[in-house]
Each structure stands twice: as structure tokens, then as C-alpha cells.
């Protein structure tokens, strides 16, 4: 590993990015780092614990972070407990990750030292930090020649929903109709996460603006509302490609894509609950039966949630009903490894996505024009699900958040899958999703709103 001194070279403007050590946050931060370093020729330093730098690098698809010009990694060895996920926990929040979150608190001093060294040899150091690493960067505003920006990896809708909860500001009718359907925050987070989050709130700094992993063509209404209340907001997403170069040769092609090649257009529902959700054996059984009874084609990613360090220890193998995979083999594929989610969503045979509604997954599904069967598990997901189903109207709800403690029965799964994949209602959602996909694609092209937004942000930080 290179030392900080070896990394620090003289530049006008240097960017330091400090993500939260959880997959969705690591991914969004790395994609932003990639764009600033390669497309805009800015030196970018991506800073985290050694385990999480390695995780971010290993899960980058379609590009090599270690071969990207201007992108450097500063990693710090920090030890922490690595408990296994608990699939039977009453709250689905992945509390097994909280020791890793707490490990990031030890980065406060190293990050401050890194920024100080850069500030001495640069005109300006721009620090982009996750809201949940506010504690780590709290000393940065005291360092000369620095500016801080907060990166939100949740939707603008969710951030504005907290404002709505607190003060009920006047909003356009279009927003009010959706906001009035907000689910409770009860059951979204664990006590351990609440304690960690309070540390971030107590240390929060008021920087030069906020960055969102979203696009104005998706959430312009809520970006505008936030702008009237809390200063400059930049919507720089989606932090994923909107057009894919999918390999056509078997040598580079994932087996799931080979399987999809043999299925009719829009006929497959992709079932995946992200990197932080563990299902109980009973939940897996009901989901399996529901998928089988729906008579629809499916790809199901059945893997346990990430641990705090994904490179250590054994991974639980989830059990399916006896003979299940053989019975469904002609129209169902069960995957137990890391899935190329974006490529699966971008395949012409994929016509639906049963998702936990993590914001990265929502953005990828929108980018690929795929409607969603929303099954939120924790955190921001219940409110993202409302945005998808009631705001954008490109999805249906699998179950109500108020019933989160009940096992979703096979009949409910079957009905949701059939509605999304084989009904006029589902077809209308697919059409709306396709239209939104085109709008997002145009937004990132030359002269598009997202392209202009990124140019505006880069001009702002290099002024």
C-alpha cells in the first residue's frame, strides 16, 4: 500500500471521498470517484478501512479501479468484530454490519491528517462524505483550503420525507398525495444503528452542498423542494451505466445471461433482495412456493447477507424445498453467488424485478426500464417503495410495511408476480418504466440535464 506522502502530489483541486462501509454506499461513492477522476481529470482519493476498499474494488463491474487514472486508494487497517447475519431477527436491519460501521469511526484522525497534508500542497481539498461518515470528517472544516459536500446514497424523496415528518411544509399537490402515504419509520433500523447514527447527527457539519445519487428527470420535484430549504443540491446520478456493453462471447458472459438468452422478451422476473438482507427458512420456503405457483419465469439470487468483512468466514447456504430446483429448472434459475444485477436487468428477457428497494437497485431498475415488485426490508427501503409505487407508478407493493413482522405467504408472492408479469396493469408499468429509462438515457448525454449538472458541480468545486 502506498503511503499518504507518496500519494500526495501538488494539484490545484483534490477530491477526497469518505464512504460508509456498506455495499450500496461503497458502490455509489466509487462510481462518483470514477467519474470525477476519469471524465473530469480530477485527482480523487477514496478513503476507507482496508477491508472495505478491497470490497469496493472487487465488486466494480466492467472496469478496473486500480487501472483508473487519477483514482487513488487510501486504506487503513482497522480491526472489528464480524458477526454472522441473523435471518430470524425481528428487525431486518443488518445489525451484523454495525461493528464495521463503528470501525469507520477510527478514521477520524487519519482522514484529518490526510486532508491536512493535501491542503498544504493544493489550492483546495474537496471532501465528499457520506452522511453516515459525518463523525469521521468533523475536523475538516477547521483545516484551511477545504470544502465539504455530503453525499446521500438514499433518494431525494426519502431525505425530503424527513423534512415533511418534522414540519409539514407546503408542497405541490403532486408531492402531497405521495407524502401522505409515507409508512412509519418504526422497524426500519436497529437500536445499534440508531446509536451509530446519533453520533453522526451530533458531529454533523454544514458544508457547501449536498450530492444525490439520483437524476432530476426522476426526482426533480424533491430536489427542488430541498433546494428551497437547505441550499445547493446536485443530482449527479444514476451512479451506474445507462447503456451496457454486454459480452456476447461465452468466455466473458455470466451463466445467468446465457440462460436469459433462451427466454422470451420481458418474460423473466429477477428476484434479489440486495447485499444486506437475510431471509429466514420460512420466508424462503413461502417465496419458493409462490414463484413456482406463479408459473412465470424467474431468476432468484438466493444468498445470505454480507458480513462486515465479506472475505472472512463461512457463508450460510439457504435451503430450498426438496427437489425444488429440479422441478423449476425449465423456467427458473436459482443463483447462490454474486449476480451481475445491472446486466440481468438490462437483458431484453427481463421484464420485472422483485426488489428490497435499496436506492441503488431502484436506480438500476429505472435505468434499464424494468418495473418493480416492491418488498422493502429496512432503512430507507419502505419509503423508496412508496416513491416507486405511488410517485413514479412503475411498481406494485408485495406487502404493506405495517405487516412487516408477518411471513409473506406463497399466495401473496404468486399474486404479485402474476400481476407484474402477466397482467394489463403490469404491462402499463413496464411502459412507464421504459419511458423513464429513455428520459434517464437522454439526461446523461451531451446537453442532458444530468450531464449539465455534473459540469455545474465540477465548475463549482474548481472555481
Active-site residues, by number, are: 25, 130
DSSP 273-338: --SS----HHHHHHHHHHHHHHT-EEEEE--PPPPSSTTSS--------TTHHHHTTTTEEEE-S-
Q: What backbone phi and psi angles, to 5 degrees, belong to 330? A: -75, -25
* C-alpha of 233 from chain center: 19
Pick the closest to residue 373 from 309, 308, 423 (CA basis). Answer: 423
| Distance (Å, whole) CA 44 – CA 68 | 10
The CA-based angle 368-29-185, given to 5 degrees, is 80
CA atoms within 13 A on the CB side of 349: 19
Residues in the chain: 463
| Cross-strand bridge partners of residue 233 | 210
> Strands 122-130 and 395-397, how do they pair?
unpaired
| Distance (Å, whole) CA 129 – CA 112 | 13
| Distance (Å, whole) CA 259 – CA 307 | 29
Q: Which residue is associated with the grid cell 455509489? A: 28
Q: Output the CA–CA distances (angstroms, integers) from residue 318 to 282, 321, 327, 389, 413, in the order listed.
A: 11, 10, 17, 30, 19
Which residues have CB under 8 Å from 324's CB, separation 6+?
Answer: 288, 292, 334
The span from the first CA to the last CA of the chain, in angstroms, equals 32
**Using an 8 Å Cβ cutoff, are 164 and 183 in contact?**
no
**Torsion, CA 405, CA 158, CA 229, CA 16, rounded to 10:** 120
| Distance (Å, whole) CA 45 – CA 8 | 10
| Distance (Å, whole) CA 303 – CA 397 | 22
Amino acid at each position: 500500500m502506498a503511503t499518504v506522502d507518496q500519494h500526495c502530489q501538488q494539484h490545484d483541486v483534490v477530491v477526497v471521498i469518505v464512504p460508509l462501509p456498506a455495499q450500496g454506499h461503497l458502490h455509489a461513492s466509487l462510481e462518483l470517484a470514477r467519474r470525477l477522476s476519469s471524465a473530469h481529470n480530477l485527482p480523487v482519493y477514496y478513503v476507507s478501512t482496508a477491508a472495505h476498499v478491497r470490497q469496493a474494488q472487487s465488486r466494480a463491474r466492467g472496469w478496473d479501479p486500480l487501472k483508473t487514472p487519477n483514482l487513488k486508494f487510501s486504506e487503513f487497517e482497522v480491526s472489528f468484530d464480524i458477526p454472522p447475519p441473523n435471518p430470524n431477527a425481528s428487525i431486518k436491519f443488518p445489525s451484523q454490519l454495525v461493528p464495521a460501521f463503528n470501525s469507520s469511526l477510527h478514521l477520524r484522525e487519519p482522514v484529518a491528517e490526510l486532508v491536512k497534508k493535501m491542503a498544504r500542497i493544493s489550492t483546495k481539498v474537496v471532501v465528499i462524505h457520506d452522511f453516515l461518515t459525518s463523525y469521521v470528517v468533523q475536523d475538516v472544516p477547521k483545516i484551511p483550503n477545504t470544502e465539504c459536500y455530503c453525499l446521500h446514497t438514499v433518494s431525494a424523496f426519502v431525505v425530503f420525507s424527513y423534512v415533511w415528518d418534522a414540519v409539514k411544509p407546503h408542497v405541490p399537490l403532486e408531492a402531497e398525495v405521495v407524502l401522505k402515504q409515507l409508512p412509519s419509520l418504526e422497524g426500519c433500523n436497529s437500536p445499534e444503528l440508531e446509536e451509530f447514527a446519533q453520533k453522526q447527527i451530533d458531529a454533523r457539519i454544514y458544508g457547501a452542498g449536498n450530492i444525490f445519487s439520483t437524476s432530476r428527470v426522476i426526482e426533480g420535484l424533491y430536489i427542488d423542494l430541498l433546494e428551497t430549504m437547505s441550499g445547493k443540491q446536485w443530482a449527479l446520478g444514476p451512479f451506474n451505466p445507462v447503456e451496457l456493453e454486454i459480452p456476447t462471447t461465452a468466455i466473458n458472459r455470466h451463466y445467468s445471461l446465457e440462460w436469459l438468452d433462451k427466454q422470451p422478451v420481458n418474460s423473466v422476473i429477477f428476484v434479489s433482495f440486495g447485499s444486506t438482507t437475510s431471509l429466514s427458512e420460512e420466508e424462503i420456503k413461502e417465496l419458493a412456493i409462490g414463484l413456482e405457483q406463479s408459473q412465470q419465469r424467474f431468476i432468484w439470487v438466493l444468498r445470505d447477507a454480507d458480513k462486515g468483512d465479506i472475505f472472512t468466514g463461512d457463508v450460510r447456504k439457504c435451503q430450498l424445498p426438496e427437489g425444488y430446483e429440479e422441478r423449476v429448472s425449465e423456467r427458473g434459475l436459482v443463483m447462490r453467488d454474486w449476480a451481475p444485477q445491472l446486466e440481468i436487468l438490462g437483458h431484453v428477457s427481463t421484464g420485472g424485478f422483485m426488489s428490497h428497494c435499496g436506492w441503488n437497485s431502484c436506480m438500476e431498475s429505472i435505468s434499464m426500464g424494468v418495473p418493480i415488485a416492491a418488498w422493502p426490508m429496512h432503512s430507507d427501503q419502505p419509503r423508496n417503495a412508496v416513491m416507486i409505487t405511488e410517485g413514479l407508478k412503475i411498481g406494485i407493493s408485495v406487502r404493506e410495511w405495517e405487516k412487516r413482522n408477518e411471513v409473506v405467504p406463497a399466495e401473496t408472492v404468486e399474486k404479485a408476480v402474476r400481476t407484474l408479469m402477466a397482467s394489463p396493469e403490469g404491462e402499463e408499468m413496464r411502459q412507464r418504466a421504459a419511458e423513464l429509462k429513455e428520459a434517464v438515457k437522454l439526461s446523461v448525454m451531451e446537453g442532458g440535464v444530468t450531464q449539465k449538472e455534473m459540469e455545474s458541480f465540477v465548475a463549482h468545486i474548481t472555481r
